[in-house]
């Protein structure tokens, strides 16, 4: 199963316990394939490093390097600007469409409203764990 994680989910998983960390653990246990694009990797890196300044004891390289090495890198599909009300979030839909991902996991309202676009479901961390990880 291919899944795209929004940056907010990944950063929450790295720095906090809770549902996003359970999703990251599931990926580390090879329970799903994490799909990324170059643009998403860049945003993961920038955001995690910025956030990491507040948490110097967290080993970001451990997670970020694993994503680079073991994430499924795709060339994103080109979608129209109106695919999502937040143009910065279109990259997640583009990645999911290109990879045939089952979903994008996000807490972002603009992405959640875009759920169903080209068959891509956008779900919260809770819903992902309830629907996909219980199988």
Domains of the chain: 2-131 (3.40.50.1010)
For the residues 65-80, what does the mean pLDDT come to? Answer: 96
CB 39 within 8 A of CB 76: yes
104: which 2 tokens? 């994008």
Smallest CA-to-CA distance from 44 within 82, 9, 83, 79 is with 9
* Model pLDDT for residues 31-51, shown as the tens digit of each residue: 999 999 999 999 999 999 999
Tell me the whole-structure pTM to 2 decimals. 0.95
CA distances to 71, 84, 102, 119 from 124, rounded to whole Å, are 20, 16, 13, 16
Give residue 94's pLDDT band: very low, low, confident or very high (50, 70, 90): very high
pLDDT-based confidence at residue 22 (cuts at 50, 70, 90): very high
Distance between CA atoms of 117 and 30, rounded to whole angstroms?
Answer: 27
- Residue 6 to residue 87: CA distance in whole angstroms: 14
């Amino acid at each position: 199963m291919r899944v795209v994680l929004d940056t907010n989910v990944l950063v929450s998983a790295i720095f906090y316990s809770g549902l996003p960390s359970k999703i990251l653990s599931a990926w580390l246990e090879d329970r799903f394939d994490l799909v990324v694009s170059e643009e998403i990797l860049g945003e993961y890196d920038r955001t995690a490093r910025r956030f990491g300044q507040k948490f110097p004891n967290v080993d970001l390289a451990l997670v970020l390097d694993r994503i680079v090495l073991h994430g499924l890198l795709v060339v994103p599909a080109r979608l129209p600007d109106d695919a999502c009300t937040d143009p910065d979030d279109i990259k997640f839909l583009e990645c999911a469409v290109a990879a045939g991902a089952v979903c994008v996991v996000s807490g972002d309202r603009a992405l959640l409203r875009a759920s169903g676009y080209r068959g891509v479901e956008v779900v919260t961390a809770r819903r992902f764990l309830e629907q996909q990880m219980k199988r």
